[in-house]
Structure 1
Amino acid sequence: MSPTDVVVVGAGPVGLFLAAELRTGGARVVVLERLTAPSGESRASVLHARTMEIFADRGFLPRLGELPAVGPGHFGGLRLDLTEADPDHPYAGQWECLQHHLETELETYAAGLGAQVRRGHTLTGLRETDAGVRVEVRGPDDATYALSARYVVGCDGEHSTVRSLGGFDFAGHDADKVMLRADVAGIEIGNRRLERFADGIATAYRRPDGTTRLMVHRFGEQPAGEPAFAQVADAWAAVTGEDIRHGEPRWLNRFGTVSRQVTEYRRGRLLLAGDAAHSQMPVGGQAVNLGLQDAAALGPRLARVVTGAAGPGLLDDYHAERHPVGSRTLANIQAQAHLLFGADEVTALRGVFGELLELGSARRHLARMISGLDAPQPPRPSLRPGPSHTHQPGRSTVDRLTDKTALVTGSSRGIGRATAIRLAREGALVAVHYTANEQAAAETVELIEKEGGSAFTVRAELGVPGDVHELFLGLERGLKERTGDTRLDILVNNAAVTSTGSAPEDLTPEEFDRSFAVNAKAPYFIVQRALGQMPSGGRIVNLTTGVTRTSVPDQVAYAMTKGAVEQLTFQLARILAPRGITINSVAPGITDNGGAIFDNPQAVEAMARFSAFNRVGEAGDVADVITFLTTDEARWITGAFIDATGGTLLG
């Protein structure tokens, strides 16, 4: 029984791209495909902005050559310019890429990375074991054999064998409306985009090679079974009045308003992606783009698990991220199907939708949804096979945060510096934020780099107008230069100003406002901004204080600001959990932050008495707690207040 890390079933675009993602992350991959050769068909022909962005990030996009822009898209047949999703996005809009061309290039790409693509090999059985999955296969000569894999992923389409054998629940409904589709040579008809007629809907698009891709839906009784060209020609004539019977059919197909989705994308060691996980009408190219984005979300995670860089729990993030995206996509497709296939009964509804699409905010909302830009950015694959085992002084032997990016505010000294160093030791690329002390921030970066880690500085004064914008301009520039994108996996809100020690009656309005601006307002809007570029599996840690749990009157303003941060954490936890993002508060006690008072032995001795351990905390004590909360091991902790006071609050 031949062993491998992952068996991918299905060599369509989704399966081949997943294989490439897995190989990039160092996983051994075998792809099983029942067809002995590519079909040459092009069910899908359009790539959207998020998919183009992912392909560009992986360096794959140039392999596809110059892809022509298709022009405006639609929502249920109503014109919708997809460039409005984000006019500044380099791939805004939609791009023509025929499926057979995409598959050819993806197969070459995956094989070049070391994936085994076995054509003419059909999955016949699955059985999970303690160590993995036993896969039964029938080869092209009808000989059978077995594979041993740690995981199996079904990318085998609407009628998925993996889904069936794995017992996945495929909830939803089958099609009740059908559209016939054909590629036809030798006909001369004008281009039209989902034009409505009295008896149905018709689309035609002439390709550069002279063939015409046409689609037709006839109101009333729906055709069954595989279409014949005579059936397509009859429907076309009935709807448009045009005769295409003299044409030469190159490809025939039918699709309908099916809408089904599995209730779980993972069952133990079995996972699903693409049409194996969700089946929908392929309107506007959303089906293939949704599946390719599934592969981008799953591949890096699964590679990290099988190479030992992360625990199996990381795979639960795949379902948490992609199931809501799939459900949302199926819902918008059902809405479009109603607008498209309804006859006179939807005339008024189409009129209302048309009026709504005159609003820029409505157009942008729908364009972002169709383009995939409203979904979390998928994780990037590791560019090395598995975790680093090269020991360097001070570094962990297994980097739990490899390929993660982190921002630690106020990390030029104290707890912030210690946290930045700890995160870098675990493999993260760290943005070291500072307000004024550039030299201290540079020293933090130097300490990280001496240990073999990666970091860069970002300057921004918090608590002033434009602070968050300035912070993220520097952050995004630094991330883009080093990783090629602006994804942020980890945010640690550490920066704060403490009270002056004044009695409550002596606190000035200016001091009060400054405390809230830096300690409460800035973290709120930093979190708000970060969520736009934080993927599933993201981690947010907010630094608070033990003073919120005990009375220290001369720190009342400071305690109030940190109490607000604790509420921010608690309230956001429920909202962020469906996205697979955790948010927690860590409360240090008396901690040596390098201040002058810690050079006074008598003062240190007095402060040590407050701790159950009879010592003053070190910055590293708190940094280790923060770092733990950013790892996969802490995936089940969110909305928590973590007492890191060294037992100060025990009484």
Structure 2
Amino acid sequence: MDTDVVVVGAGPVGLLLAGDLCAGGARVTVLERLTVPTTESRASTLHARTMDVLAERGVLEVLGELPSGGPGHFGGIRLDLTAADPGHRFAGQWKCPQAVLEQVLGDRAVRLGARVLRGRELTDLGRHEDHVVAVSGTDRISAAYLVGCDGEESSVRVLAGFDFPGEDATLEMLRADVEGLDIPDRRFERHPDGLATAHRWPDGSTRVMVHVFGTTPSPRTGPPTFGEVVEAWAKVTGEDIGGGRPTWLNAFGNTRRQAATYRRGRVLLAGDAAHRQMPVGGQALNLGLQDAAELGQRLLARLAGGDDGPLERYDAVRRAVGARTLTNIQAQALLLLGGPEVEPLREVFGELMRFDAVRAHLAGMVSGLDTPRASGLDTPPGPRDTPQERTTMGKLEGKTALVTGASRGIGRATAQRLAEEGALVAVHYASNDEAAAETVALIEKDGGRAFAVRAELGVPGDVHELFLGLEQGLRERTGTTTLDIVVNNAAAQTAAGLAPEDVTPEDFDRLMAVNAKAPFFIVQRASSQLADNGRIINISSGVTRVANPEQLAYSMSKGAIEQLSLHMARHLAPRGITVNSVAPGITDNGSPVFDVPEIVEAMSQLSAFKQVAKAQDVANVVAFLATEDARWITGAFIDASGGTLLG
């Protein structure tokens, strides 16, 4: 190979990535269309998570002390970003012109060994099983991987055939940096005809932004004219800024697009090449830099001889974060650019933002402090020496999971185990609010992410109620309702010592409704929003393999769930979704009976290991089936009874 990695685009995202890769020992070539660095400063705001990224790479030392950006906003409504984590060393937001940041990151990348080739536009891309070829004019550069960091109009994204679904802009805002103005500073001032913002830079120039309510994007191939900005400013504020001298002109809208995947074989995307959004609150630049921080360490692990897992998790983690960010930006665009019709919404939103929890939630989203810490922050880039991925992230990072009956026992242990591996877990429960809250608290205490969903199973409308809460929780935390893992664990049981002739029709109907009917329709409902290569794990029971008349009706209901696994495994296999059954034996679920030593001793004799299982023992089996490692297991009955069924 001519180089290990080709990075296309020498903006802040591409240069941060190039520097990280070189710091880890990789050979990097950067292709940039522009012949000289741009002096434009499209973005100027750095958030707390990004400040962490820059600090741990020594970049802040070079930038020097950055001025505070003051309080932030959400859709133009004041929001103190320190609410996300008042004790964080970079709480709030900070100002740094993009051109300055780009220069410092470029110097770092070159110092660490990156080869930056300017005036080189990517004209073609050859994708092969074991390498890629970047074509620029007559130059052909072979590499193990190629990363597109080339912005909204990414050539890499187009040439590699990435799908880029979403919506084009319906509203437009104009902005300009203008010298020679003497107008008051404004912060998202709403006037009868539109919105106006003005901010004086330290060099004396003024950044103006203006939107005339209802203005749709104009067909143009370049920036707006200064005359358009002058006209719009006059219409909104009544002021004439025509005597100023524009140094930069730009227009942007509420476009929302995101690549369907951030990886196609040996080609990856980061930054605006992977997502296009309205640049409100500085989130676009910060999102891209955090993409690069995540990708650098994962790509180094792969180059060092590891498997594809790190790159697959890059796609899962950053695409989920991107989707959530784009959703909050769309909400802000509505609040910011909407006309008089959104005033009631702004009023209600303003009232909600008086609550500490709401401010902390929104500030965490904008600052990036509520997302998993990028692997590049856990271990700063250093010499590449081992094939192991240097990260604390789990095998389910970026995945979402639903665990039914997760307020106690095997369900709780499973929820904790999946969260430990990085999944965002929906903790379903029927009625015990306190127990469900305890499960969520245990997960969060260990650094995981979870939320509770209440729905009684076995009653009319149960699955619909469950998914209403599930989808709301997922949308709030990820921006989508995509589900990756379903664990059907909730179950009803018959009373101990109940002979077959004593089972009533009501008993039987209840068992079948909770243990068979509910899982069937949960899987049916989930299948439409399960991601390809998803996982369904149904918790059965060892009693389906041994005769126990006192558990006849219960055993019949669990036999049904095994049939559900068998047939759905065949049905969903074309999408790479696996469906399996796990059958525990006697397992300590916290019931009082397990506090009686004599009973526990008698039960332990049924196991080949002469022990009663802990809930974690079963949870470990479920967690394995949820990972990529178990992709070749489907339609299986997994005996997790500790050898109870050996006879």
Shared fold, TM over 0.5:
yes
- The letter of the residue matching 1:136 is V
- The letter of the residue matching 2:150 is D
Confirm or deny: 8 A CA contact 1:26 1:307 kept in the other structure.
Answer: no
- The letter of the residue matching 1:304 is A
1:200 equivalent in alignment to 2:194: yes
User: CA shift at 1:134, angstroms?
Assistant: 1.6
1:529 equivalent in alignment to 2:442: no
Aligned to 1:314: 310
Please, which of 269, 290, 298 is the counterpart of residue 272 of structure 1?
A: 269
3-state secondary structure, aligned to 2:156: helix
Structure 2 Cα separation of the partners of residues 159 and 102 of structure 1: 22
Please, which of 229, 233, 236 is the counterpart of residue 230 of structure 2?
A: 233
Structure 1 Cα separation of the partners of residues 76 and 340 of structure 2: 15
Structure 2 Cα separation of the partners of residues 646 and 490 of structure 1: 27
3-state secondary structure, aligned to 1:122: coil
Aligned to 2:37: 38
Please, which of 370, 373, 380 is the counterpart of residue 366 of structure 2?
A: 370
Deviations 1:508-554 (A, max 9, x none): xxxxxxxxxxxx999985433224489x9xxxxxxxxxxxxxxxxxx
1:255 equivalent in alignment to 2:255: no
Structure 2 Cα separation of the partners of residues 262 and 289 of structure 1: 18
Is the alpha carbon distance of 1:637 and 1:91 closer, same or farther for their aligned partners in structure 2, counting shifts above 3 Å? farther
Matches within 5 A, 1:55-454: 55-138=54-137, 144-222=138-216, 223-225=218-220, 226-309=223-306, 311-380=307-376, 383-388=381-386, 399=388, 402-404=390-392
Confirm or deny: 8 A CA contact 2:443 2:449 kept in the other structure.
Answer: no
3-state secondary structure, aligned to 1:299: helix
- The letter of the residue matching 2:302 is V
User: CA shift at 1:200, angstroms?
Assistant: 1.0
Is the deviation greater in 94-103 or in 260-269?
260-269
User: CA shift at 1:632, angstroms?
Assistant: 7.8
Confirm or deny: 8 A CA contact 2:26 2:300 kept in the other structure.
Answer: yes
Matches within 5 A, 1:446-595: 526-532=442-448
Confirm or deny: 8 A CA contact 1:48 1:95 kept in the other structure.
Answer: yes
Structure 1 Cα separation of the partners of residues 277 and 32 of structure 2: 22
- The letter of the residue matching 1:117 is V
- The letter of the residue matching 2:446 is A
Is the alpha carbon distance of 1:167 and 1:252 closer, same or farther for their aligned partners in structure 2, counting shifts above 3 Å? same
Structure 2-normalised TM-score? 0.65
3-state secondary structure, aligned to 2:129: coil
Structure 1 Cα separation of the partners of residues 20 and 141 of structure 2: 21
User: CA shift at 1:650, angstroms?
Assistant: 2.9
3-state secondary structure, aligned to 2:446: helix
Is the alpha carbon distance of 1:626 and 1:107 closer, same or farther for their aligned partners in structure 2, counting shifts above 3 Å? farther
Structure 2 Cα separation of the partners of residues 68 and 187 of structure 1: 22
Confirm or deny: 8 A CA contact 2:169 2:254 kept in the other structure.
Answer: yes
- The letter of the residue matching 2:646 is L
- The letter of the residue matching 2:233 is W
Deviations 1:539-582 (A, max 9, x none): xxxxxxxxxxxxxxxxxxxxxxxxxxxxxxxx9xx9xx98x999
- Return 5+ residue gaps in structure 1 as ranges: 139-143, 389-397, 407-486, 492-519, 537-570, 590-606, 617-621
Structure 2 Cα separation of the partners of residues 186 and 525 of structure 1: 56
Is the alpha carbon distance of 1:98 and 1:582 closer, same or farther for their aligned partners in structure 2, counting shifts above 3 Å? farther
Aligned to 1:557: none
Structure 2 Cα separation of the partners of residues 385 and 642 of structure 1: 43
Confirm or deny: 8 A CA contact 1:157 1:275 kept in the other structure.
Answer: yes
User: CA shift at 1:642, angstroms?
Assistant: 7.8
Deviations 1:322-380 (A, max 9, x none): 11211111111111111111212112221111111122221111111111112111112
Is the deviation greater in 354-363 or in 100-109?
354-363
Confirm or deny: 8 A CA contact 2:422 2:448 kept in the other structure.
Answer: no
- The letter of the residue matching 2:363 is A
3-state secondary structure, aligned to 2:16: helix
Confirm or deny: 8 A CA contact 1:387 1:402 kept in the other structure.
Answer: no
Is the alpha carbon distance of 1:58 and 1:645 closer, same or farther for their aligned partners in structure 2, counting shifts above 3 Å? farther
User: CA shift at 1:265, angstroms?
Assistant: 1.0
Is the alpha carbon distance of 1:635 and 1:386 closer, same or farther for their aligned partners in structure 2, counting shifts above 3 Å? farther
3-state secondary structure, aligned to 2:122: strand
Is the alpha carbon distance of 1:523 and 1:255 closer, same or farther for their aligned partners in structure 2, counting shifts above 3 Å? closer
Is the alpha carbon distance of 1:636 and 1:19 closer, same or farther for their aligned partners in structure 2, counting shifts above 3 Å? farther
1:50 equivalent in alignment to 2:46: no
Structure 1 Cα separation of the partners of residues 422 and 330 of structure 2: 36
Is the alpha carbon distance of 1:588 and 1:341 closer, same or farther for their aligned partners in structure 2, counting shifts above 3 Å? closer
Is the alpha carbon distance of 1:240 and 1:525 closer, same or farther for their aligned partners in structure 2, counting shifts above 3 Å? closer
Structure 2 Cα separation of the partners of residues 627 and 380 of structure 1: 25
User: CA shift at 1:39, angstroms?
Assistant: 1.0
User: CA shift at 1:147, angstroms?
Assistant: 0.9
RMSD of the TM alignment (CA)? Answer: 4.8
Deviations 1:195-230 (A, max 9, x none): 011111110000111111111111244444221112
User: CA shift at 1:127, angstroms?
Assistant: 1.5
Structure 2 Cα separation of the partners of residues 283 and 627 of structure 1: 39
Is the alpha carbon distance of 1:650 and 1:41 closer, same or farther for their aligned partners in structure 2, counting shifts above 3 Å? same
Is the alpha carbon distance of 1:641 and 1:9 closer, same or farther for their aligned partners in structure 2, counting shifts above 3 Å? farther
Is the alpha carbon distance of 1:178 and 1:583 closer, same or farther for their aligned partners in structure 2, counting shifts above 3 Å? same
Confirm or deny: 8 A CA contact 2:179 2:205 kept in the other structure.
Answer: yes
User: CA shift at 1:131, angstroms?
Assistant: 1.4
Is the alpha carbon distance of 1:647 and 1:289 closer, same or farther for their aligned partners in structure 2, counting shifts above 3 Å? same
User: CA shift at 1:170, angstroms?
Assistant: 0.9
Confirm or deny: 8 A CA contact 1:405 1:488 kept in the other structure.
Answer: no
- The letter of the residue matching 1:170 is F
Structure 1 Cα separation of the partners of residues 72 and 606 of structure 2: 69
Structure 1 Cα separation of the partners of residues 192 and 316 of structure 2: 44
- The letter of the residue matching 2:355 is L
Deviations 1:166-219 (A, max 9, x none): 111111111121111111111111111110111111100001111111111112
Structure 1 Cα separation of the partners of residues 322 and 262 of structure 2: 10
Structure 2 Cα separation of the partners of residues 521 and 218 of structure 1: 47
Structure 2 Cα separation of the partners of residues 270 and 111 of structure 1: 23
Confirm or deny: 8 A CA contact 1:111 1:117 kept in the other structure.
Answer: yes
Is the alpha carbon distance of 1:588 and 1:6 closer, same or farther for their aligned partners in structure 2, counting shifts above 3 Å? farther
Is the deviation greater in 34-43 or in 379-388?
379-388
Confirm or deny: 8 A CA contact 2:48 2:93 kept in the other structure.
Answer: yes
